[in-house]
Chains A and B, each alone.
Chain A
Amino acid sequence: MTSVSNAKDSLSGGVSGRIRVALIGCSHRTAPVELRERVSFTSEQALHAAGELRRQGILEEAVVLSTCNRSELYGVPGDTGVQVTEALEDFLTSYHRISRAELDGRFYRWIGADAVRHLFRVAAGLDSMLLGEAEILGQLRTAYGQALESGSTGPVLNRAFQGALEVGKRVRAETEVGARPMSVAFAGVKLAERVFGKLKGRAALIVGAGAVAEQVVEHLRDRGIGSVRVVNRSPERAAELAGRFGGEAIAWDKLEEVLGTPDIIVTSVGGGPILTREMLERALAQRGGRPIFVVDLGVPRNVSSEATGLYNLYLYNIDNLGEIVEQNKRAREAEIPRAETLVNEQVAKFEAWRAALEASSIVDDLRGRFRKHREILLRERLAQLQDISPEERQHIASITEELIERVLDDPAERLRRGREMRGRLGAIEALRHLFGLDEKGSE
């Protein structure tokens, strides 16, 4: 379901009932960054756009999800009879002042169960650039929360987005899709956790101030590292990085003096080995043999290869970490079928809920239709019968009312209790068609 759909094909088949979710959007899979930039929404714009979509009557419920990798409009169309995805495209092009031709082949359009499935896959991280990444779930939660607060959502989107958040959590908890580190920096930190457990209260020493080392510090800080010291040949850069993360800058010539303190050492400087076996041996002795975890991100390597066998020293270089990241990517990909199964389960739950809602709604519609005919009929026929008392008129009215209830009783029960959801939705669709319930002004 990841390819760009042909809107007409998708819309013409298999969509039943009036309660449906519609979606148009683009993502890193379908549109280049230049286009994604132009159709993105700030959080204020997202709320404004959702409000506008409702005000203009295109949607009854609306949520706009906009991240760096995707811009998507989710909504529940009203009974206006307009082609909702066409209307959404018109809205989007006028909102961002871009031509419709620019969207061709770049936007996907889904409606009904397909739209819900897409939303659930997005929440599960299955549609993300980095498979299983966790950020999208937070972004989705924020977008939905803001829309909910502003009153843009309703029962259908509430159900859909709550289902999405649930499946997002389940996929990450029950499969390996989001479990393993996918970047060299994060892999280093996760491996350190395999040695020390929680990093709260642990000490880290960063030697060099490169971009990857900076990422490592960010991850360490996120995981509550106790203290960070930065050593760099350029003291200004060391002070700048240390200042940014609330750490301490250390002079380059004091490197060996401070080696005995940290539990984690991250090196990323040019010029080859700076930590020899002897230096690390002394550091371990100073620490009473407590383990040191060393991440060597330097090329050429910053830690002498002779240090590899040191007892209680766990040393990982950039190649080791790269290999682990590759291994993890493959493991995550292998988990896709399990994650898809969870998504399918959640879609089935949503569709069952929708079918129940549809069933109750169509019975109400039919009841309304029958009552209307009954009233017309009674008015016409009883007008011709002058000698009927008001009590008899009332009696005839209550008999016809009972007749309507009896006629509707069985089909209502079958629609409610039908086991096969596709069959229920088909029956609902057939009823709508036969009684012309979707026609404008049918009531």
Chain B
Amino acid sequence: MSFIANHLTFFALAFYAASFLCYARNLYAAHVPLGRLATILLIGGILLHYFALLERSHLTNSVPYDDLYGSMSLFAWLLGVTYVGLEIFHRQRSVGAFVTLLLVIWVALLRFVAPHMAPEPPPARGLVFAFHVTLNTWAYAAFALSFVLSMIYLVQDRVLRSHRPGAAFWRFPALDVLDRMCRSSVYVGLVALAIGVAGGFVWEHRLRGSYSWGDPKVIVTLAILGVYVAYLLLSRSARWRGARAALVCALNFLIVLFSYTFVNLYLTRFHRFF
């Protein structure tokens, strides 16, 4: 990978780490200016990360998703973007510490995924294909966010039922807010996934005149669409709304992880990273 892209990713990581520290401090003792600083640092990290992705795109003359490194980097960037959007929309900073921690770990892991190797320029596949991959990655990022929110919901619910709230309990968002944030995140993921999948089908049909319904990636992705739609329906039903729906949402993400890792790396023919 280019020297500049590599360094920009490193600086983005530093910004994410600083943002995490501010969010964590803000969670421990709320301090409005510190919370704002956390958001500013996160946005700074996202901007640097964007330029790192752009640099990589210039290098490969494509959207940077064609190898595991590029895909993971794009995933992290979209996770940050989606979170900032949700934070501004719901005016809620207290989950920032968890999301930025995930970002820090994820971007740090990138350094172990052959960061210095530039991928071969992929064959020109056109704009529809680029949207297909980017939107699907965005959907995964949004689902990852919904997973984090669901887990916090489950912990909060457990603490409330135990009648023993600890120090951080009073700083976390209310169950209702977590529920709404989680649903927003899933909506973003579902819309992105639906358009992304449709784009994939359009691209494939143009290229080959047929659809590869039997590809494991296609099957699992359609299953993901189904389970998240089911979550949205369940989260509104009398018997499932609340902790049960949050548990469903958290479990759904296991399928996303399976799709992103095992399926992409070993099962599929058309969606491999290598």
Interface residues of B in 132-172 (CB under 8 A from A): 156, 160-161, 163-165, 167, 169-170, 172
Partner of B241, one of A190, A196, A289, A314: A289
Chain A residue at smallest Cβ distance from B175: A195
Interface residues of A in 164-220 (CB under 8 A from B): 173-176, 179-180, 190-191, 193-197
Majority secondary structure of chain B interface residues (helix, strand, loop or mixed): loop
Quick check: which of A229-237, A316-324, A404-412 contacts chain B, the rest being far away? A316-324
Residues from chain A with a CB closer than 8 A to the CB of B241 are 288-290, 312
CA distance A331 to B171 in the complex (A): 14
Query: B242 near A197 (CB under 8 angstroms)?
Result: no
Partner of A312, one of B29, B169, B170, B242: B242
Given contacts A176-B29, A289-B240, A312-B243, 11 further A-B contacts (CB under 8 A): A173-B32, A174-B31, A190-B170, A194-B165, A195-B176, A285-B238, A288-B238, A289-B238, A311-B239, A311-B243, A312-B241
| Interface pairs (11), CB distance under 8 Å | A173-B32, A191-B160, A194-B170, A194-B175, A195-B174, A197-B173, A285-B238, A290-B241, A323-B163, A327-B164, A331-B167
CA distance A103 to B169 in the complex (A): 46
Query: B31 near A311 (CB under 8 angstroms)?
Result: no
In this assembly, does A291 line the interface, its C-beta being within 8 Å of a C-beta of chain B? yes
In this assembly, does B128 line the interface, its C-beta being within 8 Å of a C-beta of chain A? no
Q: What is B's interface to A at a CB cutoff of 8 Å?
A: 29-32, 156, 160-161, 163-165, 167, 169-170, 172-177, 237-244
Query: B165 near A291 (CB under 8 angstroms)?
Result: no
Query: B177 near A173 (CB under 8 angstroms)?
Result: no
Indicate with 1 or 0, residue by residue over A24-41, a CB within 8 angstroms of chain B CB atoms: 000000000000000000
Residues from chain A with a CB closer than 8 A to the CB of B165 are 191, 194, 324, 327
CA distance A196 to B177 in the complex (A): 7
Interface residues of A in 275-289 (CB under 8 A from B): 284-285, 288-289
Measured CB to CB, the closest approach of chain A to B28, in angstroms, equals 9
Interface size on A, residues (CB 8 A): 28
Residues from chain B with a CB closer than 8 A to the CB of A179 are 29-30, 170
Known: A176-B167, A194-B174, A195-B175. A291 touches B242 (CB 8 A): yes
Query: B160 near A173 (CB under 8 angstroms)?
Result: no
Measured CB to CB, the closest approach of chain B to A202, in angstroms, equals 10
